[in-house]
C-alpha cells in the first residue's frame, strides 16, 4: 500500500516552486499527499488574488490536499520580511497542537526561511515518523546575504536552529554537490552520509518549441525579479552597448517581483529603456513559447558564496527548452554550462565582459546557437531527467522506511593487497559498451601484480568483469552520492589511500592501455618514490600520437599554465605524497576541467612529475571527448577564465593570467595554432598578434 505524505513548505501552488511538480508527481504514482503551506504571496510580497487569511484556506489541486495556515506577507520592507519569516512557524505551532493529520513521513521543501522546518520537525517528533528535508537555501548564510545582518547575537542562534533541524531529519538532500558539502559541516562526522545530492528538474511543460525567427538578438530572462537575481548588470551592459552604437540587442524580461520597481529605475537611470521589454508575470506554461522567440536565455545572481554553490532551478528550465544560455555567474552554474557546452559565462558584476559575450553570442550565427541549445537539451535529459530523479527519491524513501533511521552505503570488505600499486578507474553505465575493451587491456598487462580499484558512479548492477590479474578487485559504490566527475576522482584517491596503496595509476573507463603500461609505472615508482606524480603518452586507437613532444619532467606550474597535457587517464599519483587535507582542498575547488586544476595544484603545493616511457594510454575519440575535437575560441576562453578564476583565489599569478586573457581580442588569434595537440592550447598570450 502506498504511503501518505505530509509536505511542509511555506510556498506552494499557485506560487511557482518545484515542490508543486514533486507533489503532483507523487499523486500520479499513487501516494496520498497533503500540504501544509502559507497564504500565497510570492513573488510580489502581497497576497495573490483570491487568497487571504480566510479565503481559499483549503483546496485540492491535482489530487493534492492543501491546508493554508495564516502568513504575514513581507511587502517590500525588510521588517515585513522578518514578520513573514516568523509568522509561518508561529501559526504552524498552533496547527501542530490541534491537527488530526496522519502521515507516514514528512517531506519538507525548504526555501527561505529555515524556520518553516520547525513545523515539520515538530510534527514528525510528535507522531514518531521520519522527516526528510530538501534544502534550497543555505542558512544562516542566506539570511546574512538578504538582510546584511551578521552580528553573532543573531547568527549564532540561527546556526544552532539549523543544526538542530538537520539533526532531527532522517535524511537531507542538497541541490548541488557543493551545497551538500556546506550542509555536511552542520552535522557530526558520523551523520555526514545522511546528506546527499539530488538535483532539481524542470516541469514537464518545459519543452523545446519551434523557433520564431526575427531580426536582431533577443536575450530573455524569465522568473522572479528580486535582489538575489542580480539583474542590475543588464542595464549596465546595455549602456556599454549603446555607447558603442549597437542597437540590435533586445533584453526581454518575463516576470515580476519585489525588486521590479528598483530594476526599472536602474534601466531608466542608465538611459537604456529602448533596449528593454518587460512583459510582467506570465503563466509558467507560456514560458517555453516565449523562449522560442529569443536567441538566448539569461541567468545571473547576486555575488555571494551561496550562489556559487547553487544550481538554480531556472537553469534546468532553460536547458529543457533547448536554449543557449548566457550567464553572469560563477561556481556550479558555470560548471554545468561548461560541461554541457551550451553557452557562455562572464564573471559576476563584470558588465563589460557580459557585453562582450552578448556580442560574441550574437555573432555565432543561427546554426551554432541551435547546436548550443541541443547540447543543453541533451545534458538536461542525461542529468536532470524528472522520471529518473523521482524514481531515485521514491526508491530511497521506500527502502528507508523499511530500515530506519536510513540507508547507509555498504562498506566494502577490506582485501589483502598483493601490491603497493593499484589501477583505478571511475566506471559508469554510459561507457558500458567500452568496458570489455578496458578489461581486455588490463588482462593483457605484462605485469599483473597489481590490484584494481573501481569507483561505481551509477551502475545499479555491476556487470561481470572477467578479470585475469594476480591482485584483487575492489568496487567502491558511490552511486548514491551523485558526485561530479572531479569529486569521483577525489573519492577514488581517498579510497586508495584508505586501503593502504602507495601508487594509484589512473585509466578512464572508455580508454585502453598498452600491455606494458602497468609494468612501466611499477618500475618508475620503484626507481623514484619521491616523485609526486607520473605521466605517459596518449595515442588514438588508430595509433596517432595526440600529445606531441612531452617533456621528460614537469616541475613548474607555468609549464601547464596556458595549456595542459596532464589528464586523469594518462597519469599516476604517489599517494604517500598527498595529504588528506590537500584532497579536501581540491574537492572544494572542483571545476569542469578537473585534471588541469588538480595537477596545477599538485605542482604548486606538493611537487613535480616525470614522464614514464613504454607506457601508453589509447584514447578513444568520441562525441563527448575533448581531445581531437574542434573547440571554438569562445569555449576555450570561457574554460580558461573559469580555471584561472578558481586558481586565483589561492595564487595571485593566475589572477594576472585572468586579467590578461580578458583583454585578448579573439579576432587576432589563429584558430589553427593548437600547440602540440595539448588541451586548451589555441589561445596563448604569446600567440596573440
* Grid coordinates of 442: 588490463
Q: Is the pLDDT of residue 626 over 50?
A: no
Mean pLDDT of 182-209: 87
Q: Is the pLDDT of residue 614 over 70?
A: yes
DSSP codes, 33-53: EEEEEE---TTTTSPPTT-SS
Pairwise CA distance, residues 44 & 304, whole Å? 23
Mean pLDDT of 641-650: 87
**Cross-strand bridge partners of residue 343:** 325
Candidates 429, 423, 521; CA nearest to 467 is 423
Tens of pLDDT, residues 453-465:
999 988 777 777 8
Tens of pLDDT, residues 270-289:
999 999 999 988 888 899 99
Pairwise CA distance, residues 405 & 128, whole Å? 12
> Taking all residues of the chain, what is their mean pLDDT, rounded to a whole number?
86
Q: Is the pLDDT of residue 44 over 50?
A: yes
Candidates 137, 131, 105; CA nearest to 194 is 131
| Angle at CA of residue 96, ends 91 and 97, nearest 5° | 100
Q: Are strands 32-38 and 195-197 parallel, antiparallel or unpaired?
A: unpaired
Q: Are strands 473-477 and 451-456 parallel, antiparallel or unpaired?
A: parallel
Cβ atoms of 423 and 453 closer than 8 Å: yes
Mean pLDDT of 406-422: 51
Pairwise CA distance, residues 631 & 620, whole Å? 17
Q: Is the pLDDT of residue 34 over 50?
A: yes
Q: Is the pLDDT of residue 624 over 60?
A: no
Give the percent of the chain with pLDDT over 90: 42
Mean pLDDT of 612-616: 93
Lowest mean pLDDT among 401-415, 498-512, 606-620, 659-673: 401-415
First and final C-alpha spacing in the chain: 71
Query: Mind spelling out the 3-state secondary structure of 504-561?
Result: EEECCCCCEECCCHHHHHHHHHHHCCCCCEEEEEEEECCCCECCCCCCCEECCHHHHC
Pairwise CA distance, residues 675 & 673, whole Å? 6
pLDDT of residue 119: 93
Pairwise CA distance, residues 193 & 179, whole Å? 14
* Grid coordinates of 318: 532553460
Candidates 517, 689, 543, 515; CA nearest to 621 is 543
Query: What sign does the dihedral 452-455-457-461 (CA atoms) show?
Result: positive
Run of H or E residues at 326? strand 325-328
pLDDT of residue 534: 97
pLDDT of residue 541: 81
Q: Is the pLDDT of residue 628 over 50?
A: no
Mean pLDDT of 29-46: 88
Cβ atoms of 67 and 58 closer than 8 Å: yes
Q: Is the pLDDT of residue 542 over 90?
A: no
pLDDT of residue 689: 35
What is the longest distance spanned by two Cα atoms in the chain? 80
Cβ atoms of 111 and 134 closer than 8 Å: no
Looking from the CA of 676 toward its CB, the CA atoms found within 13 Å total 14
pLDDT of residue 403: 63
DSSP 144: H
The verdict on pTM exceeding 0.75 is: no
DSSP codes, 158-202: HHHHHHHHHHH-SEEEESSHHHHHHHHTTS-GGGGGGEEE-----
Tens of pLDDT, residues 288-343:
999 999 999 999 887 766 677 778 888 999 999 999 999 998 888 888 898 888 99
Cβ atoms of 574 and 532 closer than 8 Å: yes
Mean pLDDT of 120-137: 91
Candidates 476, 489, 470, 475; CA nearest to 421 is 470
Q: Burial code of 168-180, b = ≥16 C-beta within 10 A, e = fewer?
A: bbbbbbbbbbbbb
Tens of pLDDT, residues 554-591:
999 999 999 999 999 999 999 999 998 899 888 876 67
- Phi, psi at residue 688, to the nearest 5°? -85, 130
* Grid coordinates of 208: 523545446
Q: Is the pLDDT of residue 405 over 70?
A: no
Pairwise CA distance, residues 642 & 639, whole Å? 5
Amino acid at each position: 500500500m502506498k504511503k501518505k505524505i505530509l509536505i511542509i513548505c511555506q510556498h506552494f501552488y499557485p506560487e511557482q516552486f518545484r515542490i508543486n511538480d514533486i507533489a503532483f508527481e507523487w499523486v500520479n504514482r499513487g501516494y496520498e499527499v497533503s500540504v501544509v503551506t502559507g497564504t500565497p504571496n510570492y513573488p510580489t510580497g502581497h497576497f495573490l488574488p483570491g487568497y487571504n487569511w480566510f479565503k481559499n484556506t483549503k483546496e485540492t489541486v491535482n489530487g493534492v490536499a492543501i491546508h493554508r495556515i495564516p502568513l504575514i506577507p513581507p511587502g517590500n520592507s525588510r521588517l515585513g520580511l522578518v514578520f513573514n519569516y516568523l509568522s509561518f512557524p508561529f501559526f504552524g505551532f498552533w496547527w501542530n497542537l490541534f491537527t488530526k493529520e496522519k502521515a507516514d513521513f514528512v517531506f519538507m521543501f525548504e526555501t527561505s526561511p529555515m524556520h518553516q522546518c520547525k513545523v515539520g520537525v515538530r510534527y514528525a517528533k510528535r507522531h514518531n515518523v521520519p522527516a526528510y528535508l530538501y534544502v534550497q537555501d543555505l542558512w544562516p548564510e542566506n539570511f546574512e546575504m538578504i538582510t546584511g545582518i551578521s552580528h553573532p547575537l543573531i547568527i549564532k542562534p540561527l546556526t544552532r536552529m539549523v543544526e538542530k533541524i538537520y539533526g532531527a531529519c532522517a535524511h537531507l538532500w542538497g541541490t548541488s554537490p557543493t551545497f551538500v558539502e556546506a550542509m555536511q559541516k552542520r552535522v557530526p562526522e558520523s551523520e555526514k552520509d545522511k546528506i546527499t545530492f539530488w538535483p532539481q528538474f524542470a516541469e514537464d511543460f518545459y519543452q523545446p518549441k519551434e523557433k520564431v525567427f526575427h531580426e536582431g538578438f533577443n536575450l530573455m530572462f524569465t522568473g522572479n525579479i528580486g535582489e538575489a537575481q542580480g539583474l542590475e548588470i543588464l542595464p549596465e551592459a546595455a549602456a556599454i552597448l549603446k555607447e558603442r552604437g549597437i542597437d540590435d540587442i533586445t533584453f526581454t524580461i518575463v516576470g515580476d517581483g519585489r525588486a521590479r520597481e528598483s530594476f526599472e529605475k536602474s534601466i531608466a537611470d542608465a538611459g537604456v529603456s529602448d533596449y528593454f521589454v518587460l512583459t510582467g508575470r506570465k503563466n509558467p506554461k507560456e514560458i517555453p513559447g516565449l523562449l522560442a522567440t529569443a536567441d538566448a536565455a539569461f541567468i545571473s545572481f547576486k555575488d555571494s558564496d551561496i550562489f556559487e554553490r547553487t544550481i538554480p532551478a531556472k537553469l534546468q528550465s532553460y536547458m529543457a527548452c533547448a536554449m543557449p544560455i548566457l550567464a553572469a555567474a560563477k561556481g556550479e552554474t558555470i560548471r554545468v554550462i561548461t560541461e554541457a557546452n551550451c553557452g557562455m559565462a562572464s564573471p559576476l558584476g563584470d558588465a563589460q565582459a557580459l557585453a562582450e559575450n552578448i556580442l560574441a553570442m550574437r555573432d555565432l550565427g543561427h546554426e551554432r546557437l541551435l547546436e548550443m541549445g541541443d547540447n543543453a537539451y541533451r545534458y538536461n535529459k542525461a542529468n536532470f531527467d524528472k522520471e529518473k530523479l523521482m524514481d531515485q527519491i521514491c526508491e530511497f524513501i521506500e527502502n528507508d522506511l523499511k530500515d530506519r533511521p536510513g540507508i547507509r552505503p555498504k562498506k566494502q570488505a577490506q582485501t589483502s593487497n598483493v601490491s603497493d600499486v593499484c589501477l583505478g578507474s571511475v566506471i559508469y553505465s554510459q561507457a558500458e559498451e567500452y568496458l570489455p575493451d578496458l578489461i581486455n587491456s588490463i588482462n593483457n598487462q605484462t605485469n599483473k601484480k597489481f590490484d584494481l580499484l573501481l569507483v561505481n558512479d551509477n551502475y545499479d548492477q555491476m556487470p561481470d568483469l572477467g578479470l585475469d590479474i594476480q591482485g584483487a578487485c575492489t568496487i567502491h559504490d558511490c552511486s548514491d552520492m551523485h558526485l561530479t566527475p572531479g569529486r569521483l576522482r577525489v573519492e577514488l584517491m581517498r579510497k586508495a589511500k584508505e586501503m593502504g596503496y602507495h601508487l594509484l595509476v589512473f585509466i578512464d573507463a572508455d580508454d585502453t592501455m598498452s600491455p606494458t603500461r602497468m609494468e612501466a609505472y611499477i618500475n618508475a615508482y620503484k626507481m623514484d618514490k619521491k616523485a609526486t606524480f607520473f605521466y605517459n603518452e596518449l595515442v588514438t586507437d588508430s595509433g596517432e600520437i595526440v600529445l606531441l613532444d612531452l617533456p621528460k619532467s614537469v616541475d613548474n606550474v607555468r609549464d601547464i599554465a596556458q595549456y595542459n597535457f596532464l589528464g586523469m587517464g594518462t597519469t599516476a599519483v604517489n599517494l604517500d605524497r598527498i595529504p588528506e587535507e590537500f584532497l579536501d582542498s581540491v574537492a572544494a575547488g572542483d571545476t569542469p576541467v578537473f585534471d588541469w586544476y588538480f595537477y596545477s595544484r599538485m605542482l604548486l603545493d606538493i611537487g613535480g612529475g616525470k614522464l614514464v616511457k613504454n607506457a601508453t594510454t589509447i584514447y578513444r575519440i568520441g562525441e563527448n571527448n575533448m581531445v581531437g575535437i574542434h573547440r571554438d575560441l569562445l569555449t576555450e576562453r570561457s574554460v580558461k577564465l573559469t580555471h584561472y578564476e578558481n586558481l586565483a583565489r589561492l595564487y595571485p599569478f593566475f589572477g594576472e593570467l585572468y586579467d590578461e586573457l580578458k583583454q585578448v581580442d579573439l579576432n587576432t588569434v589563429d584558430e589553427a595554432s593548437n600547440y602540440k595537440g595539448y588541451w586548451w592550447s589555441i589561445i596563448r598570450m604569446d600567440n596573440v598578434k
